[in-house]
Structure 1
Amino acid sequence: MTLTIADLVRRHAGERPTAPAVTCGASTLTFAELDRRSSQVARALLRDAAGHGDRVAMIDKNSPAFFEALLGCSKIGAVLVGVNWRLAPREVADILRDAEVSLVLAGPEFVGLLPAGQAAVKVVVLDDRYEQWLQGPDSTDPRHDVSPHDVVLQLYSSGTTGLPKGARITSANLLPTADMAKTAWRMSERSVNLVTSPLFHIGGAGYSLTTLSQGGHTVIARQADAAGLLAEVERHGVTHAFWVPAVLASVLDAPEATGADLSSLELIGYGGAPMSGFLMLRAMERLSCGFLGVYGMTETSGTVLYLPPEAHDPAGPRAGLMRSVGRPLPWVEIEIRDPATTAPLPANAVGEIWIRCAQNMVGYWNQPETTAATLVDGGWLRTGDAAHRDEEGYVFLHDRLKDMIITGGENVYPAEVESVLADHPAVADVAVIAVPSQRWGETVKAVVVLRPGATATEEEVIAFTRTRLARYKCPTSMDVVTELPRNASGKVLKKDLREPYWSVTGAGGPATVAGPAGPAGPGRTAAAAALVRRWSVDWLNGRHPEVCEEILSPDYTLLIGGYLLGPRDEYVPATLAQLNRYPGLVVTAHQVIAAGDRVAVWFTEHGASARLEGRRAAWPGVALFRSNGEQLTHCFCEEDYYARRRQLDRSASDVVDAPAVAPWDPVPGTANPAAESVVKAWLGERDLRSAPVVIDDAVTGAQPPEQVLDVTGFTVNEMFSAGPQVAFHATQTGVYAGGLDGLEGALGDPALLHLAGIVEVRDARIVGGRVVRDRLGTARSLASRSSAPPSSAPRGSTQVL
């Protein structure tokens, strides 16, 4: 019975002693040799008083010594600590100190990274000195009593946002790779697996165990250069490989790829970073093999979700599955949960991925609080990744929750935008970040590396995205750089890209409301919270005294910049599910409060932001304000707008369906002619052919955009030219009914907006209709009766419907 990872090799050493186990360069170890040398490592560790629970570090490029050390540690219950050789000396010292290592195995070229003055830590250099260290009077397998639940491997996270954390992984966590090799990778004892990922990562260490578990042949690439990898495939008849997108692209672009015999390849896995559709199609055209998408992390001991080769069919009816990271392995449970409430979410709702399986690590080394926040009740592991799952169980990754951009109240996941930008023929590498915006709080910025010899302007790249994404997701600016900053593990350091724009003295300039700006969250909104709390108490006491006792209880809540600020000033990401838990009034400060001179504050009965119209919240009042950083100046007040809307809806019984229309091709950045014809056709049905139409901020006809307030017409939401879905709003003045705050800032005092109808268009077809035939006349009638503000409205306000 297999109990530890050492038992995997013990078994194959007995059954297939002369079969090749590990090859690196010109050196090959059989299973019998690998088993014997790992026993020599175990005996050498015991001679140096390293035993059960002691930590042994290894810092070197990929080599067979890693497997000898890992299996040797497994045989005596010691723990191998993989150290990234790309780290700076200070970072290496921090990890060695944190792990409390007693011995270090170091490649000759990395001895200089080790801290001086640690006499208690023995260093064995991986050259002839390592061979001498292995020699001893006894080289037999020690056969210690080791549990599969003993920690055998400690790998440190990349630390893009803070200090690295040491994930503690047991043999029991790693043993499912044997089943994974058969279920997902379709490996057998005849498989030849090329390992290119660093063995100090789970993508290298964990992945390599798939072939070893099956008795197959593992070929180790000491470093991932394209020419060398192509040569290894031809030399050894490689059947399987795992290549991150950057490595796959380098292989396809290498001159050596032309004419290379890659016919032995059966399956290539990919993951670790978003794979662009453009790169995927190139790979499928060039390589006649299957492709396997995988998702996992150090904390899950590797792969937990996989997208099989059958789901890679770009010409088939389910081509959209190629954007998925797949479904869970048979022994893995997955849920998508609300990150704030932790409640499970239904299909297609975006939330945090939670994983429960035998692969979940046992915790972080010496970090009980971080462990408790990651491994929660019931054996679930919180990944910190945002995703949704469709009705068939396929998971679609959005991004790390911490990297999410909130622009104008809409959530944008950088990975989605990066995937589109990666398809641009001039873009070699890309990162998407949030930068401050006076109007929207945050907007999307692309930071790109262009391909050698390629050119692309900011306007061209942005226009490219607008044909593929909703406009609010598209970059509003672009920087071109020679390379993206990355940490020692190769992950993009987005915090370094963001920092100049969010610092007080950086390119973004000061962005304050009585305090400096920062990323969305507590640090950015503390001053805004104080300002809104002070104002809301004063204003509500004057305007709504009958509800102030209930509303302004100690439990009343603020929603600022996408975060809920509770009565004890605790911040959590705001979601609809979280908002529903607050039956009392919520004061909502639009996120632009922390970025500049304007803020909209909504008061809602049911905890839903005024922008979340799907909640059908009743509004006691809506107010728009300006801020000079010290105080709020009232601009206008709207009382119980939705109550009037509901009354209008109830009085209109004549509902008609809009006609079907032909498809159109989006034209970004212009008043889309096809979109215009759709709206004009609808207007023609109602004898309104002469009415101007506002599409993507451009007015059809002779009127320039600045005269939009002076026309009576119809407005099309900017999403109209972005693709499959659009709502266009028929308004008395031609102004987008949902854009009061933005138009106020651009065009002066807000116009009287009277919603005359809403038509929803999906997939080039007007559906649902829900157009009230006489609503325009009803709105005009109401407008004439409410042209003067009531006496209760504050001075200078404009009363609207």
Structure 2
Amino acid sequence: MGNTVPGLVRRAANEFGDAPAYFMDGSTLSFTELHEQVRRTAAAFRAQGLEPGGCVVLWAPNSIEWVVAGFAVTYAGGTLVPANSRYTAHEVSGLVERTDASLVIVADGFLGKSQIADLSAVAPNAKILDLADLGSLESSDADLAAVEAAADAVSPDDIADILFSSGTTGRPKGVLSSHQQSVASGASWSAVGEVTSDDRYLVISPFFHSYGYKIGALTGLIRGCTIYPMATFDADAALDLIAAERITMVPGAPAIFLGLLESPKFPTTDTSSLRFANTGAANVPVALVERLQTELSFDLVITAFGMTECVVATMCRRGDADETIATTCGKAIDGMETAIANPETGEHLPAGEEGELLLRGSQVMLGYLDDPAATAEAIDADGWLHTGDVGVLDERGYLRITDRLKDMYICGGFNVYPAEVEQALVRLDGVVDAAVIGIPDDRLGEVGKAFVVRRPDSDLDADAVIAFARERLANFKAPREVAFVDALPRNLSGKVLKNDLRSTS
């Protein structure tokens, strides 16, 4: 198996040939056709100015076109920079500037918005291409030859992608991963999931997310399974696909499975083809694991733990008890180590003691883009990644996440760092101070609640605060609730006492 993305594209075409690689909205693309479209799109990117080592920002929802464009970037020797499809133009322009992107590929009109016009207004110097027009771009035989040479030259140690994860300082962090790391993510995960070319894989996680791209799209190339991408999750549409296409695999956050189980269509939908479910991102009720096995017919249900900085760290295994699957994130996968440390002293703690989760091994990122200080803070001299999560390892090495050292919360499967939201809110006229916490939500797991200190003469209301946030930030980051307070509770050093805020919510 090749350990670069271009190598995977070529190998999949040779090994799986005319078998279906992708199916979406009635369109099918074989592995051979995928390779051909990827190489021609890569040549077109070269004609548009992409050179080996250059970055391309891809701002679009899940689609076959996304995959072709994404693989084409690395086939041309470039670095893929996926942008969240819900981001605003302001957020995307920040990614373009920080990566010095040669090209920006945009799905214009997604969710009724004018992405190209919006991005052009805030990033006038960016070279923007419409994703829908890529098939009509021209390239020469010389460009094709140069692209094949560029694909040959890609090294497993080259940077394959930069995935941005919101930073605790309010500045998104660009996570650098090599080709061999990205490939290893899909290979390790799919081995535990027993994935084969017979599988039909419903990918609900967005391709701009590590799980959608590395555990979804790259797994398809590695194992030869057919990928069925969804642009946005719709429980009824997903059930229709499961029945009509005999879907076998559905990874997703617990909210995804609850959506399927609670849909009015579920009782009359044939889900007997399902065999493998992978979930995580939140505590999983034991009752949900049982429902996945009995009502949704899954033979293999596995929970896992990962993060953008380390895509797959731990997984449960076949044969684990329901309670183990529901209450732990499994044990370290091959090539990875886990440890629990005292967050104050760094001393490693024995089984059963709570502390900060540390990860080490093949999946740990290369570092953060343009931020050596943050990289040094995250990865210590011994190679341990300090996750900021509090957890416990049992005597078997199974991990249970108990809390977060950071203020991050998870909304609908996406990490939200309050510092970024707070920085946006304090730019709103009439706001003196703001703090954001995550609060429980039945559908999304957690949503944001903002505590806002208004200027004395301000008539600002909650709707105006939420609307302002939605203009500047992706929807999942915008708070759903706003409470106006006279002052934020702080300690003597000035830090906001968020536990005090949580106790009032």
TM-score under structure 2 normalisation?
0.80
**8 Å contact 2:73–2:79 — kept in the other structure?**
yes
Tell me, what secondary structure is at the counterpart of 2:149?
coil
* Residue of structure 1 in register with 2:78 after alignment: 78
* Residue of structure 2 in register with 1:50 after alignment: 50
Change (3 A) 1:221 1:22: same
Tell me, what secondary structure is at the counterpart of 1:218?
strand
Give the Cα separation in 2 of the matches to 1:30 and 1:331: 32
1:39 aligned onto 2:55? no
* Residue of structure 1 in register with 2:131 after alignment: 126
Give the Cα separation in 2 of the matches to 1:521 and 1:268: 47
Once the two structures are superposed, the pairs formed by residues 567-586 of structure 1 within 5 Å of their partners are: none
Deviation at 1:230, TM superposition (A): 1.0
Q: Which amino acid aligns with 2:64?
A: P
Give the Cα separation in 2 of the matches to 1:81 and 1:353: 28
Once the two structures are superposed, the pairs formed by residues 390-401 of structure 1 within 5 Å of their partners are: 390-401=394-405
Change (3 A) 1:197 1:158: farther
**8 Å contact 1:19–1:31 — kept in the other structure?**
yes
Give the Cα separation in 2 of the matches to 1:373 and 1:446: 25
**8 Å contact 2:393–2:399 — kept in the other structure?**
yes
1:171 aligned onto 2:179? yes
* Residue of structure 2 in register with 1:299 after alignment: 309
Which one of 363, 366, 386 corresponds to residue 382 of structure 1?
A: 386
Once the two structures are superposed, the pairs formed by residues 536-551 of structure 1 within 5 Å of their partners are: none
Give the Cα separation in 1 of the matches to 2:168 and 2:326: 28
**8 Å contact 2:160–2:182 — kept in the other structure?**
no
Change (3 A) 1:359 1:376: same
**8 Å contact 2:301–2:325 — kept in the other structure?**
no
Deviation at 1:200, TM superposition (A): 0.7
Change (3 A) 1:130 1:206: same
Once the two structures are superposed, the pairs formed by residues 543-692 of structure 1 within 5 Å of their partners are: none
Once the two structures are superposed, the pairs formed by residues 418-567 of structure 1 within 5 Å of their partners are: 447=439, 449=441, 488=474, 490=476, 500=483, 506-507=484-485, 517-518=489-490, 522-524=493-495
Q: Which amino acid aligns with 1:394?
A: Y
Q: Which amino acid aligns with 2:116?
A: V
- Structure of greater Rg: 1
Deviation at 1:273, TM superposition (A): 2.5
* Residue of structure 1 in register with 2:193 after alignment: 185
Q: Which amino acid aligns with 2:74?
A: S
Give the Cα separation in 2 of the matches to 1:335 and 1:342: 11
Once the two structures are superposed, the pairs formed by residues 696-711 of structure 1 within 5 Å of their partners are: none
Give the Cα separation in 1 of the matches to 2:475 and 2:17: 36
* Residue of structure 2 in register with 1:108 after alignment: 108
Once the two structures are superposed, the pairs formed by residues 217-236 of structure 1 within 5 Å of their partners are: 217-236=226-245
**8 Å contact 2:62–2:231 — kept in the other structure?**
yes
Deviation at 1:15, TM superposition (A): 2.2
1:322 aligned onto 2:326? yes
Q: Deviations over 1:584-621 (max 9, x none)?
A: xxxxxxx99xx9xxxxxxxxxxxxxxxxxxxxxxxxxx
Change (3 A) 1:41 1:389: same
Change (3 A) 1:117 1:351: closer
Tell me, what secondary structure is at the counterpart of 1:143?
helix
Tell me, what secondary structure is at the counterpart of 1:114?
helix
Q: Which amino acid aligns with 2:493?
A: P
Tell me, what secondary structure is at the counterpart of 2:22?
strand
Highest RCO, 1 vs 2 (Cα 8 Å, sep ≥ 6): 2
Q: Which amino acid aligns with 1:488?
A: A
Q: Sequence identity, in percent? A: 29
* Residue of structure 2 in register with 1:754 after alignment: none
Give the Cα separation in 2 of the matches to 1:177 and 1:191: 18
Give the Cα separation in 2 of the matches to 1:150 and 1:202: 18
Change (3 A) 1:341 1:86: same
Give the Cα separation in 1 of the matches to 2:105 and 2:178: 21
Deviation at 1:159, TM superposition (A): 4.4
1:271 aligned onto 2:271? no
Which one of 358, 372, 375 corresponds to residue 354 of structure 1?
A: 358
Give the Cα separation in 2 of the matches to 1:335 and 1:492: 34
Q: Deviations over 1:389-447 (max 9, x none)?
A: 0111110001221249xxxxxxxxx99xx9xxxxxxxxxxxxxxxxxxxxxxxxxx995
Give the Cα separation in 1 of the matches to 2:324 and 2:362: 30
Which one of 134, 140, 149 corresponds to residue 143 of structure 1?
A: 149
**8 Å contact 1:124–1:133 — kept in the other structure?**
no
Give the Cα separation in 2 of the matches to 1:79 and 1:447: 36
Give the Cα separation in 2 of the matches to 1:238 and 1:521: 56
Q: Deviations over 1:321-341 (max 9, x none)?
A: 520011010211111111111
Q: Deviations over 1:533-557 (max 9, x none)?
A: xxxxxxxxxxxxxxxxxxxxxxxxx
Change (3 A) 1:274 1:162: farther
**8 Å contact 1:239–1:264 — kept in the other structure?**
yes
Change (3 A) 1:243 1:449: closer
Deviation at 1:181, TM superposition (A): 4.2
**8 Å contact 1:187–1:211 — kept in the other structure?**
no
* Residue of structure 2 in register with 1:248 after alignment: 257
**8 Å contact 2:283–2:326 — kept in the other structure?**
no
Q: Which amino acid aligns with 1:310?
A: G
Give the Cα separation in 2 of the matches to 1:193 and 1:182: 11
Change (3 A) 1:154 1:114: same
Q: Which amino acid aligns with 1:234?
A: A
* Residue of structure 2 in register with 1:61 after alignment: 61
* Residue of structure 2 in register with 1:288 after alignment: 297
* Residue of structure 2 in register with 1:679 after alignment: none
**8 Å contact 1:196–1:222 — kept in the other structure?**
yes
Deviation at 1:254, TM superposition (A): 0.9
TM-score under structure 1 normalisation?
0.51
Q: Which amino acid aligns with 1:379?
A: G
Deviation at 1:448, TM superposition (A): 5.0
Deviation at 1:342, TM superposition (A): 1.2
Give the Cα separation in 2 of the matches to 1:163 and 1:263: 45
**8 Å contact 1:160–1:491 — kept in the other structure?**
no
Deviation at 1:6, TM superposition (A): 1.5
**8 Å contact 1:55–1:102 — kept in the other structure?**
yes
Change (3 A) 1:25 1:142: same
Runs of 5+ unmatched residues, structure 2: 110-114, 412-436, 444-465
Give the Cα separation in 2 of the matches to 1:59 and 1:330: 33
Q: Deviations over 1:557-603 (max 9, x none)?
A: xxxx99xxxxxxxxxxxxxxxxxxxxxxxxxxxx99xx9xxxxxxxx
Q: Which amino acid aligns with 1:383?
A: T
Tell me, what secondary structure is at the counterpart of 1:258?
helix
Change (3 A) 1:249 1:488: farther
Give the Cα separation in 2 of the matches to 1:448 and 1:234: 32
